[in-house]
Copies of this chain bind each other. A is one copy, B any other.
Amino acid sequence: MKIKYKAIYENIRQQIENGKYQVGDQIPDENTMCTQFGCSRMTVKKAYDLLVNEGYIYRRQGQGSFVLSNSMGQRELEIQGRELTGFYRGTNGEGQAKILHFNLIFATEKIAKALNIHLHDPVYDILRVQYLDDKPYVIEQTYMAPSVIPGITQEVLEGSIYNYIENTLGLKISSSKKTVSAAISNELDRQILHLSEIEPVLVVDQVAYLDNGTPFEYSNSRHHYGLFSFSVYALRR
């Protein structure tokens, strides 16, 4: 790791996650870290601020820096990558994916607006089911513009779209906006996710962005209510 503040961040993060620093423990002050890592205060500060943003520590003027939580220690949630720090990996497909349909359609107003393209521009219209341990847990409706993400095929869709985008196309996925809500399950939900009439779905509406600011994906995911939850750490500003 050539970037110093990331190295310091990783160093402390790991010591928190593996329990060397317990919740409530004070971690070294900035000057101590400066001498230890041979760097200036600003560099330590940057590393520590990252830890604050991710909910690992809190800091108080005049007192010091203390462990707030070991974040990842709370893995009681069923489907969770690095959910707590925030990036939704639904489309990452760590399990298997089954394609329900894969078409080209004309962008509706909603899609065009979300993807920042013109009305009636062509878009991929993909409906997939994701499985984990042979259990279906989410139905994903995805729209992407071929002008942004070219060359999508059945094969790509059976694997991970995100891997294709990052590894094959060499693009960088940088952020996303999500809105989470609960909804009554519809006919398709119940059939695919094996739900009864009274069992709901957790709906995630998402627009995902490349590092050049282009929205490349607009998706609507309907999750089995018992197999998925969504966690965030929120800092008050």
Contact = CB atoms under 8 A, between A and B. Distances in A.
Chain B CB within 10 Å, residue with most, of A55, A68, A225, A234:
A234
Contact of A86 (B24, B87, B198, B235): B235
Contact of A179 (B77, B174, B175): B77
A225 B199 CA distance: 13
A105 to B, nearest CB: 23
Contact of A234 (B77, B175, B225): B175
A60 interface: yes
Nearest to A210: B58
A234 B55 CA distance: 14
Chain B CB within 10 Å, residue with most, of A180, A197, A231:
A180
Nearest to A88: B234
A176 B233 CA distance: 6
A56 to B, nearest CB: 11
Nearest to A71: B177
B234 A86 contact: yes
Given A176-B234, A179-B231, A236-B175, A198 B201 contact: no
Contacts of A229: 179-181
A108 B199 CA distance: 29
B232 A177 contact: yes
A228 interface: yes
A201 B225 CA distance: 11
Given A209-B58, A225-B200, A230-B179, A237 B23 contact: no
Interface string A36-51: 0000001000000000
A148 interface: no
Given A200-B200, A202-B181, A55 B235 contact: no
Given A175-B235, A176-B233, A182-B183, 16 more contacts: A55-B175, A58-B175, A58-B209, A58-B212, A60-B211, A68-B209, A82-B237, A85-B237, A86-B232, A86-B235, A174-B235, A176-B234, A177-B233, A178-B234, A181-B229, A182-B201
18 contacts: A42-B42, A53-B53, A58-B175, A58-B209, A68-B175, A68-B213, A77-B179, A86-B232, A86-B234, A87-B237, A173-B236, A174-B235, A176-B234, A176-B236, A178-B234, A180-B229, A180-B231, A184-B200
